[in-house]
Amino acid sequence: MALPALTAAWGLVIVCVIPAAAITMHLTLSAFLGRRLMVVTVRGESMAPAYRDGDRILVRRGRVPDRGHVVVVERPYLPPARLEPAPHWLIKRVTGVPGDPVPRDIGQLLRVSPGGRVPPGRLILLGDNKAASLDSRQLGYFPAERVLGTAVRRLPPR
């Protein structure tokens, strides 16, 4: 007689407990990944040919960018006369991190004396397509705390 009671108990575990645990784990994992990963759509040609207008990229939040990483960064405030119809976020390549020597061609634009270094908390960000990029060549250093995250990979088109 104990066997049917044991089978019923396992049936209850299979029907109720396991799905509830799976749903809880799914929601926890989704919440965690939702805070760490996000999808961003590229607007504009400033990163061509690496990333083109309409490309979707997976971005990992909270990662400290290093030289060569592609990052999504908050667009700095621009006076209305210079405000182009652009997204709130920019995608750029990190070419200088705090302590790095400022590249000579960028140093002249940033009014940094030869041998100058990138200051703490600042980044030099450049678009791969120089002709179509709003970046450190025009805006100077970007605050590191304004970086949303680092591009992980391009996603397939929808």
Q: For 49-105, write each residue's pLDDT tens digit.
A: 999 999 999 999 987 899 999 999 988 766 555 555 544 789 999 999 999 998 887
d(CA 62, CA 66): 12
**Contact, 136 vs 41, CB < 8 A?**
no
Phi-psi region at 99: left, alpha or beta (left = phi > 0; alpha = psi -120 to 50): left
Mean pLDDT of 118-144: 92
- Residue percentage of the chain with pLDDT more than 90: 49
pLDDT of amino acid 18: 55
Q: What average pLDDT is seen over the chain?
A: 80
Q: Calculate mean pLDDT across residues 121-145.
A: 92
Of 29 and 100, the structure prediction assigns the larger pLDDT to 100
Determine the CATH number of domain 38-155.
2.10.109.10
Q: Does this model's pTM top 0.85?
A: no
**Residue that wins the pLDDT comparison between 149 and 17:** 149
Domain layout of the chain by residue ranges: 2-35, 38-155
Quote the pLDDT of residue 120: 94
DSSP 137: H
Return the higher-pLDDT residue of 151 and 14.
Answer: 151
Nearest to residue 119, comparing CAs of 135, 98, 104? 98
